[in-house]
């Protein structure tokens, strides 16, 4: 039965050694799973409890029945969750939607507050700015991005910023036009960055906190990647000096140095996410930097693995460490729990979440024996509740 917890191996994990100081106090998290609902058995957003001492996932239930909640973002105050509804039509217009929910921290249930147009079809990524005042959305099909204000009760207001990207690139099937795939603000919240797979660019805008608008960061309004690369997702280093982009179409990671003063990127390195002897088809999906800043992870769909890299703390460059099978098919997403002890891989094609323990010294991944069945999982979001 979908969303029932499976214990693949009964084992007691040894306490994870800490590099220095006392181990952090154990915490438990509400863990929300976004899914695809079309032509699947999914009903919407699923909720689990996650224990960061044992890595145990405990199924709660369906948190909210909603269509195609493919990406999620939890508000910094822990009261609200926002989800894209990756649809082609909403309220009679060619657009997807964005849903705002309140969170019941005891039961894990979500209550719909309101739903607004995402300002374009196929919304695929959602985040909040660093203050929690605005929700940011990337619409894949239309190549548009939009900003929505968060009202005092958690509902979303009328959009305050909007942009339609222009252009195309060399892959005629995937890059016939713009396809915005990722959006976030810089660590200091002064700039808005977007990855567009269809035009091989990272676009950089000045973000205006006072009114939620954004304007091109002239003359440094972005960087272009190799033609046909298809930038999908990106991640800042915790120190704020480095920025990493995974390109879906050529299975690479591009490392950049980041100048916070001007909001500019300077390329450092391009590395493959695949072993040299791999010759099959592959698309990368998610990318994340470990909270320690020591390691970077990228998921490979096709290879069905997590590529692990060590990060040079001074230069920001990457060194391959490992390539770990996700024990499932099509790892569209993964998430590192806030403690940094575990990585949860969402295998869309095999309908499961697989939990790995992270080695704090090497960044390597070890199976914990925890696997949860969820139909078509595509996003994982954590909320600390104790």
Could you report the per-residue pLDDT of 167-224, keeping only the tens digit for each? 999 999 999 999 999 999 999 999 999 999 999 999 999 999 999 999 999 999 999 9
Distances (CA, A) of 260 to 13, 216, 363: 41, 16, 27
pLDDT value at residue 11: 34
pLDDT value at residue 1: 44
Confidence class for position 235, pLDDT limits 50, 70, 90: very high
Distance CA 354, CA 367 (A): 8
Residues 6+ apart with CB under 8 A from 79: 102, 103, 154
pLDDT value at residue 278: 97
- Does residue 228 surpass a pLDDT of 90? yes
pLDDT value at residue 13: 32
Residue 12 or 257, more confident: 257
pLDDT value at residue 142: 98
Which residues pair with residue 243 across a beta bridge? 236, 256
Residue 28 or 4, more confident: 28
Provide mean pLDDT across the span 79-85.
99
Could you report the per-residue pLDDT of 253-285, keeping only the tens digit for each? 999 999 999 999 999 999 999 999 999 999 999
Radius of gyration of the chain (CA): 19
Could you report the per-residue pLDDT of 326-379, keeping only the tens digit for each? 999 999 999 999 999 999 999 999 999 999 999 999 999 999 999 999 999 999
Question: Quick one: CA torsion of 28, 32, 33, 39, rounded to 10 degrees?
Answer: 140
pLDDT value at residue 386: 78
- Does residue 16 surpass a pLDDT of 60? no
Which residues pair with residue 225 across a beta bridge? none
Could you report the per-residue pLDDT of 295-338, keeping only the tens digit for each? 999 999 999 999 999 999 999 999 999 999 999 999 999 999 99
Question: What DSSP element (H or E) covers 369?
Answer: strand 365-373
pLDDT value at residue 243: 99
- Does residue 21 surpass a pLDDT of 50? no
- Does residue 382 surpass a pLDDT of 50? yes
Distance CA 353, CA 334 (A): 9
Cβ proximity of 201 and 231 under 8 Å = yes
Provide mean pLDDT across the span 77-97.
98
- Does residue 23 surpass a pLDDT of 60? no
Both tokens assigned to 68: 């195609």
Both tokens assigned to 195: 């990855």
What phi and psi, each to the nearest 5 degrees, are found at residue 344? -110, 120
- Does residue 7 surpass a pLDDT of 60? no
Confidence class for position 26, pLDDT limits 50, 70, 90: low
Cβ proximity of 137 and 183 under 8 Å = yes
Average pLDDT, whole number, for the chain? 94
Provide mean pLDDT across the span 57-82.
99
- Does residue 25 surpass a pLDDT of 70? no
Both tokens assigned to 200: 């091989």
Residues in the chain: 386
């Amino acid at each position: 039965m979908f969303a029932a917890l499976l214990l693949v191996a009964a084992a007691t994990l040894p306490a994870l050694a800490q590099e220095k100081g006392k181990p952090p106090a154990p915490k438990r998290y509400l863990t929300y799973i976004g899914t695809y609902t079309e032509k699947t058995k999914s009903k919407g957003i699923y909720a689990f409890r996650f224990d960061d001492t044992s890595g145990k996932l405990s199924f709660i239930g369906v948190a909210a029945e909603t269509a195609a909640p493919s990406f999620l973002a939890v508000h910094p105050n822990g009261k609200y969750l926002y989800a894209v509804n990756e649809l082609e039509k909403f309220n009679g217009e060619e657009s997807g939607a964005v849903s705002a929910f309140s969170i019941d921290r005891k039961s894990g249930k979500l209550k719909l507050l309101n739903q607004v147009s995402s300002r374009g079809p196929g919304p695929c990524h959602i985040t909040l700015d660093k203050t929690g005042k605005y929700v940011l959305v990337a619409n894949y099909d239309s190549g548009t991005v939009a900003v929505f204000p968060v009202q005092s009760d958690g509902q979303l207001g009328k959009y305050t910023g909007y942009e339609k990207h222009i252009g195309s690139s060399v892959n005629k099937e995937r890059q016939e036009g713009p396809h915005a795939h990722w959006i976030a603000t810089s660590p200091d919240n002064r700039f808005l960055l977007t990855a567009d797979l269809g035009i091989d660019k990272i676009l950089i805008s000045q973000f205006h906190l006072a009114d939620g608008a954004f304007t091109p960061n002239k003359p440094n309004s972005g960087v272009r990647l190799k033609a046909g690369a298809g930038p999908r997702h990106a991640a800042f280093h915790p120190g704020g000096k480095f920025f990493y982009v995974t390109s879906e179409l050529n299975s690479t990671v591009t490392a950049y140095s980041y100048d916070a003063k001007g909001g500019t990127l300077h390329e450092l390195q391009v590395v493959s996410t695949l072993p040299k002897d791999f010759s099959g088809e592959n698309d990368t999906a998610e990318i994340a930097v470990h909270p320690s800043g020591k390691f970077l992870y990228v998921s490979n769909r096709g290879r069905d693995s997590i590529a692990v890299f060590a990060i040079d703390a001074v230069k920001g460059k990457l060194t391959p460490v490992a390539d770990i099978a996700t024990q499932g098919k099509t790892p569209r997403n993964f998430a590192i729990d806030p403690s940094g002890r575990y990585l949860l891989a969402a295998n869309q094609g095999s309908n499961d979440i697989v939990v790995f323990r992270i080695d704090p010294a090497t960044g390597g991944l070890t199976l914990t024996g925890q696997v949860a069945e969820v139909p078509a999982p595509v996003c994982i979001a954590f909320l600390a509740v104790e």
